[in-house]
Structure 1
Amino acid sequence: MITRRFLNGVLMAGALVGVLAVAAPLVPAWANAAVPFSAEAFKAAQASGSPILIEIHADWCPTCKAQNPILDKLTAEPKFKDLKIFRVDFDAMKPVVKEFGARMQSTLIVFKGSAEQGRSVGDTKEASIAALLDKSL
């Protein structure tokens, strides 16, 4: 016997699948996602001359959480389609954090190939983060 609760659950699941099917095409195909930092991938991106963003990030950091939607929005722009984004875990990758000269989480560093072009610490303003990302192009 089918209960009302079961039927409502099936209907809600179907509606959710429909919403996801409609929303998925709204995310640009070139939308960039941060990948965990690896020295090999970073060196390869530098050698290719790619624009690069290094995020020194901590999951517990409120500033990092505030930066996430801003970075997602900005890096989804077509001009950043070639931007390589590497996330460095502030707590688990201390030697890498030190190599980049970062003293705290929420540090953003941009490179154009092998040359550092700029950095910011604790910034949550869209305009200044956009200006920083532009330096990588």
Structure 2
Amino acid sequence: MPHPPEVVFTYLADPRNRPEWQASLTSVTLTDRSEPHVGMTWRESTLVGVRPRLEITHLEPCRLWAERGRWHGVTATLALRFTAIPGGTRVRADGEVTARGPWGAAAAAAGRLASRAVKADLERAARVLARA
């Protein structure tokens, strides 16, 4: 992204911004209105009706932000790593979707599709930041 790590991290680490750049979301409901911090939780409403509860699990400004989301028997993790590069910031995303019981097949399918979705969402975030 053609912005410094401070700008990219601040934008992506704040759950309030997610509906702007995450295509699958319709809204985010925070449990508190403070600045992002480890332990902060929120609930997302998605286009397909899934309403996971998410939590920030790691927050190291301008370097690493991670979350864990749960919905029924499905757990998803996502970590964003930020690296300053000439002219901007590289964002690397790593994640995993797991499930127990009858949700196993759906979680496996979601995991296979997640890479493309996360890449598209981060490209969308770059476009939003370019307009700011």
Short-chain TM bin:
under 0.3
Specify which structure has the higher proportion of helix: 1
Larger RCO (CA within 8 A; separation ≥ 6): 1
With the length of structure 2 as denominator, give the TM-score of the two structures. 0.25
Q: What TM-score do the two structures reach when normalised by structure 1?
A: 0.24
Mark the structure with the bigger radius of gyration. 1
